[in-house]
């Protein structure tokens, strides 16, 4: 009888234990909070850069007017400031000379969409454009040419690049 009583007691405890385990919710840890936040931030950044590229291309054909900041005409730094404010949710300084001081310096061999391209020296640039991928950039060129999309060439190659997003 003692054996039978112990077996019943053991079975009762075991069933309570197993019932308790079955109600525990096991959620596997597939990534840390930091990894999820980093992925979300990267996705948001990619969306902004795509929006910057798209808006820059949309300005092609508009007039160049010295000192203009859009939306119907631009000078080179006004175009950059306008596009980044509208599509990148980023306020950049007004002039090329000030814009070159924003962001992280990047190699001209490793350009990504949205990078700012500068002509002249890093300390005294005279022109800025937006890299849109595929070896091309958009810039407000001259009063005769207006806003254009052009291919990077050795004839008119930028001297510096900055990543601002």
Q: What residue ranges do the domains of the chain occupy?
A: 36-163
Give the active site residues: 76, 127, 139
pLDDT at 22 over 90: no
Q: In this model, does residue 3 exceed pLDDT 90? A: no
Is the pLDDT at 97 greater than 90? The verdict is yes
CA dihedral 125, 127, 130, 133 (to 10 degrees): -90
* Confidence grade of residue 123 (pLDDT, cut at 50, 70, 90): confident
Q: Residue 64 pLDDT > 90, yes or no?
A: yes
36-163: CATH number: 3.90.1720.10
| Residue 39, pLDDT above cutoff 90 | no
- pLDDT of 119 strictly over 70: yes
Is the pLDDT reported for residue 148 higher than 70? yes
51 versus 35: which is more confidently predicted? Answer: 51
Which has the minimum average pLDDT: 36-50, 61-75, 110-124? 36-50
């Amino acid at each position: 009888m003692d054996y039978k009583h112990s077996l019943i007691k053991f079975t009762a405890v075991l069933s309570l234990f197993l019932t308790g385990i079955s109600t525990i919710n096991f959620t596997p840890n597939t990534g840390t909070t930091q990894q999820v936040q980093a992925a979300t931030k990267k996705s948001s950044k990619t969306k902004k850069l795509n929006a910057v590229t798209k808006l820059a291309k949309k300005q092609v054909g508009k007039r160049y007017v010295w000192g203009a900041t859009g939306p119907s005409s631009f000078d080179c730094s006004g175009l950059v400031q306008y596009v980044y404010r509208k599509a990148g949710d980023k306020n950049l300084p007004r002039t090329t000379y000030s814009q070159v001081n924003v962001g992280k310096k990047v190699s001209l061999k490793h350009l990504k969409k949205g990078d700012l391209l500068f002509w002249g020296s890093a300390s005294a640039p005279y022109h800025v454009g937006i890299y849109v991928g595929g070896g091309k950039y958009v810039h407000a060129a001259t009063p005769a040419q207006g806003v254009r999309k052009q291919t990077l060439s050795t004839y008119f190659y930028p001297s510096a690049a900055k990543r601002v997003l």
